[in-house]
Amino acid sequence: MSQHVSQADLAAFAQVSNAPVQTRVNRTFELPAALYGVTVACYLGFLGLMSLLFMNSELVLPMVAFVVSIIGGFGLCYKWAGMRPDADSHALTLGQFSNRGVQTLSGPLTAGEASAQVLILPVLIMVWGVAIAVIYAVVGH
C-alpha cells in the first residue's frame, strides 16, 4: 500500500548529488549461453523442418523473416548482455550453473529445474514439428 511522504521526511533521507548514479543491472539472467543455443537450435530446427516439408515459392519470404527475427532477437540480447564488459554480472558457466542453479523471485532452482523451465517451449515446438513430419509422411501429400 502506498503512503504519502512529506517533503521534510524526504529531505531527511535524500542525498542530492550532481554525480552520475552507477546502477547494477544483471542483463544475463545468470543462465549459460548453451541454454540459449539450444533454444535457438530448436526454433531454427522447427523452421528448417517445416521448410523441407512444405516449402514453396510463397513461403520463402515468411521463412526468411522468421529466421532473421529469431537470430536478430537472440543476437540483440547477446549484445545487450555484453554491453558493459566491466560489469560484475556475467552469465554462469555450465559448471557454475550445474553446481549453484539460479535464484529466482520464487526461490532457488536447481540447474535441471531451471533448464526445464527455459527449454520446455522450444523443445515442445520441435517435437510438434517432428509430429507434423510423421503425420505428413504417413498420410502423404
Q: Does 109 reside within a domain? A: yes
For residue 58, give the amino acid letter.
E
Contact 27, 109 (CB under 8 A): no
Q: Phi-psi category of 114—alpha, beta or left, where left has phi over 0 and alpha has psi -120 to 50?
A: alpha
Q: Which residues pair with 107 in a beta bridge?
A: 104
Angle in degrees, 0-180, between the axes of helices 60-81 and 33-54, rounded to the nearest 10 = 180
Q: Does 113 reside within a domain? A: yes
Return the biggest CA–CA distance within the chain: 77
DSSP-assigned letter for residue 59: G
Q: Does 78 reside within a domain? A: yes
Instruction: Give the span between the Cα atoms of 25 and 89, in whole angstroms.
Output: 7
Q: Does 10 reside within a domain? A: no
> Domains in the chain: how many in total?
1
Entry pTM: 0.78
Contact 45, 122 (CB under 8 A): no
Q: Does 63 reside within a domain? A: yes
Contact 33, 92 (CB under 8 A): no
What is the structure's pLDDT at 87? 66
Q: Does 61 reside within a domain? A: yes
Q: Which domain holds residue 37?
A: 27-139
Q: Does 2 reside within a domain? A: no
pLDDT in tens, the chain (141 residues): 678 888 888 778 777 778 777 777 777 778 898 999 999 999 999 999 999 999 899 999 999 999 999 999 999 988 887 776 666 667 888 999 999 998 888 899 999 999 999 999 999 999 999 999 999 999 976
* 46 C-beta neighbours (distance < 10 Å), count: 20
What is the structure's pLDDT at 77? 86
Q: Does 16 reside within a domain? A: no
